A and B are shown apart, each in its own frame.
Chain A
Amino acid sequence: MNKINSLQLAVTFIITRLSAEMLLIPGELIKYGPNRFYAILFAKVIVLLLYLPAVFITLRFKGDNFITATMRRSPLLAGFLGLLFTMGITCIIADTVINLQLYITDTLLHSLLLITGVIMIIFAGFYGAYKGVSAVSRTSVFALCFFILLIVLIIITMMPDMDMVYLYPSFIEDGEYFIQSMTAEVSCNSELLMFAVLCANVRQKPNKTLYYLLAVFVLLEVINLIYNLVLGPFLDALEYPLYVISSLSDIVIFQRLDGIDAIVWLFASIIKISMLLVCVKQIYSTVTKKSGSTMFLAVFSLFCFGLCMIIGNDRIIYNSFQKFMNTALPIVFSGAVIPLIALIAGKKRKEKKDE
């Protein structure tokens, strides 16, 4: 099995979460004010709790992931859980691809057709997954470097336009937005699913990867701070706030950074799609006990392509799908509930054996 170190996985998770910041949180859930600062904090605590089942599995079954652990005890249950889990991942892939395509159409390339965008994004994701977990996690280092460079450039160039007047300390709005924002924050953490599968690939103790949450927390708060300081109440009217802020940044060579911003986000999102496909590949390999799964990966990618075309072509379906994804149910169910079931199943089986 391909092994990566926990730092590599942490970097990949940071990139995965950051890609969601631009694409998956709809504009209406990023609002001006201090609420989102707290929402990010609380969401991270909730996510940390959601990680517990997967962490317990790796501790209890000596570095195994939930699917391998279940496979040893009941292949049938493992197949069933793998199927459910794959469904969760499929939803996230479809969500990411469609949102990325919309983002690209809104920003970089107005004339990009849905089919073209989806094909290219899924192909790039497939290629990454085909190259394996090491290739994707190594590539994420470059994505993180680009991202940090972008943020630093934005901060430097926008420093004169940041207005401290826009910062105010306490809650003024009602709590409804806070709850919505926090749920959306939790729904963005697809790394939860990746961890449940990839914990088996980590060379050291996989729990170390979870330090990424701290880095993500800091980065998200910094980004949110930039939103508030630069845009103030105008933030409420924007769909892609960081893109707008990038378009204000002038770095002498380029008059505006929005194109670079879109590139970084596209890069990060492809890494995320690749990693999700890697997880599916790994589940398939474990359940079917086959080492070569390229053909399956190609078929699954085609299936994702079809799904994206169906959802992306119909605004009503897309809106319903988006609402469903924002409830954080797919993330919570696949990332926490399924590993929990695997943990309980493993325990019961062991008890029976002991009897």
Chain B
Amino acid sequence: MNKLRIAGAVSVLLLVLSLCGCIRYVELSDRAIVQAMGVDYLPDKGIYRISMQYFAQSSEGSKNQIDKTQANVLKSIGEGKSILQAVNNASLLTGKALLLSENRIIILGKEACRLDLKGIMEFFISNFHSHPQTYFACGENTAEEILDIRFKEGYVSSQHLIDIIDNAAALGKSSNEYAYTTMAQLMGGTKSTVLPLLKTEELATDGTIPPGGGNSSGGSGDKKEQQKETTVVPCGVVIFSDGTAKDKADEDVTMGIRLFYNAVEEITITINTDNNRTAALTLYDICTEITPRSIGDTLTFEVNTTAHARFDDRGSIGEVDTKGIEDAISKAESEIEACMKKALDKAKGCRADIFGLENALRNKNPEYYRAVKDNIGDVLFSAEFNLKAKCLPFSLGLQSF
């Protein structure tokens, strides 16, 4: 029995050793850890151009940690007739196998936005080692220009881009949906979604963005131009319908879209009060409920938005000025309604269901949805909308409440 056991153990050992060669792996040090990717499309040549920022440990020595004091990323570019080919070609410059799991942002250049978004996203998501919590964003410039800028903030450059998007989204000025949520939206009847829009801005000498925005950097040709300090700023969203980019939405419209989607944490509204003074309200705990009602063939969406309001700047409103407060609240409500109306008009213009109208109809009126689901786009955008905003003033700002 012992002999049998020894023979068994030896044969298992031999088997394992013989199987060693069957598994190929890449050492971590032989990988290029991709941090951000840009997808550009060159319509005249009909090819994709992929730009990548990948991590580069700049300091020497094996025990050194990440050097956060400098932009520790390198850039690589590749072109190809398909995204896969372009990615493979981009890896030729790195000389290493690509590791896509750390890639947290994929920027689509202005031409790439016109392509089928789902197709591009599927490429990245179908790789199980890619992260589904990747952000997709659009660029007003080419993706390459945006990725040319290497930030020193964050532990790697792309971290700053993500922080910019997150912060803008929290304030209702951009969108920050993960790839899988965007894919879920694209699986809807109208294949609609929104992606954050980024653009490059030149910084003023004091490090601020000049009023009205600086000139967008004009590509990567001129060395002097490149030396100018530029940054990336969020500037609204791009609306996608039927899988491709249809229109841009500025910050106001973006705010309306985000309000529809219950995705705004807090927004600030400034209103004019008497004596040419201004008051500022912060709206928080914002909640929008969309209720579809069908009477015969007419479909109406009741959109009720409620929010708590806090006066962070009272302006001329006194502590016991009930009328002044009511007026201010009323103006804030009108502003929200106007903002949402703008967003609605934009969405109708693009025929994009970016508010989750289909979900609302399916959840609350499944019978009706079943009847119209093959023609959902037409039904949604021929519907009536009743927008109502309600703000509830809270006592934090005004002691008299």
Contacts and interface: CB of A to CB of B under 8 A. Distances in A.
B131 A170 contact: no
Interface string B353-372: 00010011011001001100
Contacts, number: 69
A178 to B, nearest CB: 15
Contacts of A109: 23
Interface string A211-245: 00000000000000000000111101100100110
Contacts of B362: 168, 172
Contact of A256 (B15, B131, B356): B131
B184 interface: yes
Contacts of A180: none
B128 A107 contact: yes
A166 interface: yes
A172 B373 contact: yes
Interface residues of A, number: 33
A248 B133 contact: yes
A169 B12 CA distance: 54
Contact of A116 (B19, B128, B359, B366): B19
Given A168-B366, A169-B366, A172-B373, A112 B128 contact: no
A256 B362 CA distance: 32
A122 to B, nearest CB: 12
Contacts of A116: 19, 22-23
Interface string B119-143: 0001000001001110000000000
Nearest to B183: A234
Contacts of B188: 233
B291 to A, nearest CB: 13
B281 to A, nearest CB: 27
Given A111-B24, A165-B363, A247 B128 contact: yes
A344 interface: no
Interface string A77-112: 000000000000000000000000000001101011
B359 A166 contact: yes
Nearest to A32: B187
B202 to A, nearest CB: 36
A258 interface: yes
B370 A172 contact: yes
A72 to B, nearest CB: 33
B180 interface: yes
B367 to A, nearest CB: 8
Contacts of B22: 112-113, 115-116
Given A106-B128, A244-B132, A256-B131, A231 B180 contact: yes
A167 B131 contact: no
Given A169-B366, A172-B369, A247 B131 contact: yes
A159 interface: no
Nearest to A249: B133
Contacts of A113: 22-23
A148 interface: no
A172 B363 contact: no
B180 A234 contact: yes
B158 to A, nearest CB: 15
Contacts of B24: 111
Given A107-B128, A119-B19, A165-B356, A170 B366 contact: yes
Chain B, interface residues (CB within 8 Å), range: 20 to 34
Nearest to B19: A116
Interface string B22-45: 111100000000000000000000
A120 B184 CA distance: 37
A233 B132 contact: no
Nearest to B133: A248
A113 B360 CA distance: 47
A167 B188 CA distance: 14
A116 B122 CA distance: 30
A24 B188 CA distance: 27
Contacts of A234: 180-181, 183-184, 187
Nearest to A243: B128
B184 A232 contact: yes
Contacts of B19: 116, 119-120
Contacts of B373: 172
Contacts of A169: 363, 366
Contact of A231 (B184, B360, B363, B366): B184
B136 to A, nearest CB: 14
A231 B186 CA distance: 12
A106 B181 CA distance: 22
Contacts of A107: 128
Given A107-B128, A120-B19, A168 B184 contact: no
Contacts of A115: 22
* Central interface residue in A232, A236, A240, A256, by most chain B CB within 10 Å: A232
A354 B25 CA distance: 70
* Central interface residue in B25, B178, B187, by most chain A CB within 10 Å: B187
A248 B132 contact: yes
Nearest to B262: A165
A237 B183 contact: yes
Contacts of A111: 23-25
Interface in B71-92: none
Contact of A233 (B133, B178, B187, B370): B187
Contacts of A258: 128
Interface string B363-401: 100100110010000000000000000000000000000
Contact of A247 (B23, B132, B359, B360): B132
Interface in B227-279: none
A116 B303 CA distance: 58
Q: Which 3 A-B pairs have the closest CB atoms?
A: A233-B187, A234-B184, A232-B184
9 contacts: A116-B19, A165-B359, A165-B363, A166-B184, A231-B184, A232-B187, A233-B188, A237-B122, A237-B183
Interface of A: 32, 106-107, 109, 111-113, 115-116, 119-120, 123, 161, 165-170, 172, 231-234, 236-237, 240, 243-244, 247-248, 256, 258
Given A111-B23, A247-B131, 7 more contacts: A111-B24, A111-B25, A165-B359, A167-B363, A232-B184, A248-B133, A258-B128
